[in-house]
Every structure is written in structure tokens, then in C-alpha cells.
Amino acid sequence: MKVGFIGLGNMGSAIARNLIKAGHDLTVYNRTRSRAAAFASLGARVAETPAEAASDAEVLITMLADDAAVEDLIFTPGNSIFASANTIEALAAGAVHVSLSTISVELSRRLAESHREKQQHYLAAPVFGRPDAAAAAKLFIVAAGPAEQIERCRPLFDAIGQKTFIAGEEAHAANVIKLAGNFLITTVIESLAEAFAFGRKFGVDPHTFLDILTNSLFTAPVYRNYGSMIASDKFEPVGFKLPLGFKDNRLLLAAAEKAAVPMPMASLVHDRFVAALAQGLGESDWAAIARVSYENAGLRKEITG
């Protein structure tokens, strides 16, 4: 399948490699050209602009950081940060845009409508998984949009993930699920942080505590992986940078406010992100919000020695 792939960060690079391994014909673009150039040796064509990457694609895949980047890429003509023609104009009628990015519900709706007006197709297909899962082609994909287009793209999804969940015909449903899922991860991080702070205050060894919890009541990988980071108070190497987690939290709260859904725990997590950023943790993994609980419990000096 001819694929235009835009956005070669840690997640995007791993996904693009797996698509090439699966035999798909990729044209790649990235604002930092050196990231894209590395794919030439793998058999990909390197585009000079996003519009060029889109122009010959049956499927255009985007994996970008936020709403602003996606909007600028798709809708803004030549004076954009991507310095290209309007990408939606370059995409052929009948082609499909697959957004793997975690974006707002409203932008997903706008993308679906805009592509429909151009006789193109749009799928929202955000993923659950960190860069190591992306490299191993073990992502979980949540796909929503026209059923026939999901089936058309299934070979691509099969090449990058271990399972694809279908969330319905309305593309924005996948973004709702993704934001809700990330919200639940942050509540796990927050609850683990509070529980570990409580245990440490009473002299309980955090790794013993982790071993007991994850081999009895809480066996899921999310508890094991984030619990290990919190027990060790080590949030590097970064799998998902803290400001990106904060961005997702803000998108969730904005959608919840518009739909009149109170989410008090999300508001608490929002304040944890703000506090973590104030403490200089912007380059850390998003699990570093746990340090706020340690700080509040007066444990930071004890932990850092």
C-alpha cells in the first residue's frame, strides 16, 4: 500500500519502521529532516514537504504532538511551520487520512467533515502503548470511522499493533476513548504515588510494597510499569514526556466541560501536572507527577538522600 507518513518522533519512527518491514511503500516527512533522512536507507522516499508526502498516497498517516501541529499541517497553506502547500488539497480524492495522534474531540470532528467535503476519508486511530511497544509492533489501536475504510487500513494496523479495537462509524469516538484511557492511566499514577508515599512514611520498602501489590491485587502492566518507576523514583528514560500528558489532560477537561461532565479527579491530576512543571520536571516522564505526592508528604529529602 502507498503510504504517506508524517511525524517521525519516538512513536512515529517506530511505527514507520514496522510499516516498511511489512512491505508497505512509504514516503516520509518530518520537520527535522535528519529524522526522515534516516529512512531512505530502509527503502522509504523522503518528501521535501508534507504535501509531497500526501500527493501520491492511498493512505496518509499522521503522528503529531498536538492539535496545533495537526491543524497547521492539514489546513494551513504555504506560510505554515511546515512550509508547504495545504496538505488536504494535495491528498487525492478517495484517499484516507489516518490520524494516530492524541487530539481533541472537536478537531477530530472537524477533520472528518473537512475530508468528507474533499471526497476523502478520515479515520481516527489513536494508539495505546509506549515507544517500546511501538517498536515491538505491540500497540493497541482504537479505530473509528467508516467501516470499509477501517478494513482497507487493517493491513497497516496489523503491521503496527497487537490488536485493533473498532469504536464505531464516528471518528471522534476513538479520540474520546483515547483521552479517557489516558485519564485512567494518570489516576493510576496518582493513586500509586499516594499509596507509595503512605507506605514510605511508615518505613515500608517500596519495592517490597510493589512486589506484593503487583502479584496479588493489581497485576496489570500499567501497575507494574508505573509502579516500578514510582518505587525507584526514576522517571528517565522518558517514554511519554510530562507536558504531553498535561496536554491530554487539558483536552479531556475541555471536552468534559463542553459536555457538562464533572471530572473532579481529572482536575486534581491537572493540578499535579502544574505542580510538577513548577518543580522543573518538564523533561521527565509523565509518571513524575508522583514526585508531587512525595514532596507533599515531606519525603523528597529522604528519597534523594
Catalytic site includes residue 178: yes
The full DSSP string for the chain is -EEEEE--SHHHHHHHHHHHHTT-EEEEE-SSHHHHHTTGGGTPEEPSSHHHHHHT-SEEEE--SSHHHHHHHHH--TTSTT-SS-HHHHSPTT-EEEE-S---HHHHHHHHHHHHHTT-EEEE--EE--HHHHHTT-EEEEEBS-HHHHHHHHHHHHHHEEEEEE--SSTHHHHHHHHHHHHHHHHHHHHHHHHHHHHHHTT--HHHHHHHHHTTT--SHHHHHHHHHHHHT---S-SSBHHHHHHHHHHHHHHHHHTT---HHHHHHHHHHHHHHHTT-TTSBGGGGHHHHHHHTT-HHHHH-
Spot the catalytic one: 21, 138, 163, 178.
Answer: 178
First and final C-alpha spacing in the chain: 55
Q: What is the dihedral of CA 237, 175, 72, 246, to 10 degrees?
A: -40
Residues that are catalytic: 178
